[in-house]
Amino acid sequence: MKKPSSILIIFVIVIIAFFAVWKVGTPNLISKNKENTTEKVSKKVKKESKKTEKKETSESESSSTETSSSVKSEVSNVSSSESTSSVQPSVKYPVLQKYAGKTYYAVNRESAEVPDMFPTSFTITSDTASITIDGKQELIRDVSSDSGFIALTGEMGHTMGTGLSFEFRPLGVNDDAVEVINQGKYLAYSTTISE
């Protein structure tokens, strides 16, 4: 009788030990399965993110190429429009453009035969639509360039109806010095005031 009871006790101990091992091993197995699953998922995620990064990189490179080419084309359009606008569309008489916006002062006006024939200064406005002579602004009606002289005509607005007639020519290669002619008399003008 002792043998079957001892076998039964051993059998119960084995079963208890099996359950104990199973209880202790199951969380490990579960955590290992979780780790394996997590590793597999993370590897898949890494692969997918690498694929996505490659796609995004190639898309961003192509878009940056497109952007840079569009920027280059815009810059070239702007620069070409700037180069074509060197003769400004707001300039009425292009022949006057290099003299526009500068004030020319008479050089040795008092030494002229008749000083009153020549203004002390004149300025052609930057849009070349008018000229200011000794502080009085006149609209330019017409401009002609003949035999090296540039002739301006306009309305003085006097009650007598006297028209403006003003002629000058450049002195040398520099636009900062010109010579004004009036009734066959000449006087030099410069953008710098003579002392």
Q: Are residues 38 and 121 in the same domain?
A: no
Q: Determine what percent of the chain falls in helix, strand and coil, rounding each to the nearest 5.
A: 50, 25, 25
Please report which confidence band the pLDDT of residue 100 belongs to, taking 50, 70 and 90 as the band edges. Answer: very high
**Residue where one domain finishes, among candidates 86, 107, 131:** 86
Whether pLDDT at 80 is above 50: no
Whether pLDDT at 40 is above 90: no
Residue 7 inside a domain? The answer is yes
Q: Which has more confidence, 155 or 123? A: 123
Q: Are residues 15 and 80 in the same domain?
A: yes
How confident is the prediction for the chain on average, in pLDDT? 75
Q: Are residues 81 and 99 in the same domain?
A: no
**Amino acid sitting at position 115:** P
- Separation of alpha carbons 25 and 20, rounded Å: 8
Q: Are residues 156 and 99 in the same domain?
A: yes
**Closest Cα to residue 119, out of 100, 128, 101, 132?**
132
Q: Are residues 111 and 27 in the same domain?
A: no
Tokens representing 33?
A: 């399965």
Q: Are residues 130 and 53 in the same domain?
A: no
Tokens representing 126?
A: 């930057």
Task: Tally the C-alpha atoms within 13 A of residue 22's C-alpha that lie toward its C-beta.
Answer: 6
- The domain of 181 spans 94-190
Q: Are residues 82 and 134 in the same domain?
A: no
> Exposed, middle or buried, 25 (CB in 10 Å: 0-12/13-18/19+)?
exposed
Q: Are residues 140 and 103 in the same domain?
A: yes
**Residue where one domain finishes, among candidates 52, 86, 120:** 86
Please report which confidence band the pLDDT of residue 160 belongs to, taking 50, 70 and 90 as the band edges. Answer: very low
To the question of pTM greater than 0.75 for the whole model, the response is no
Radius of gyration in angstroms for the set of CA atoms belonging to the chain, rounded to a whole number? 48
CB 188 within 8 A of CB 104: no
Residue with tokens 């995004």: 56
CATH number, domain at 150?
A: 2.40.128
**Residue where one domain finishes, among candidates 51, 86, 121:** 86
Whether pLDDT at 31 is above 70: no
**Closest Cα to residue 140, out of 102, 122, 166?**
166
Total tally of structural domains belonging to the chain: 2
Residue 195 inside a domain? The answer is no
Q: Are residues 185 and 98 in the same domain?
A: yes
CB 92 within 8 A of CB 127: yes
Q: Which has more confidence, 90 or 42? A: 90
Task: Tally the C-alpha atoms within 13 A of residue 113's C-alpha that lie toward its C-beta.
Answer: 6
- Separation of alpha carbons 53 and 59, rounded Å: 10
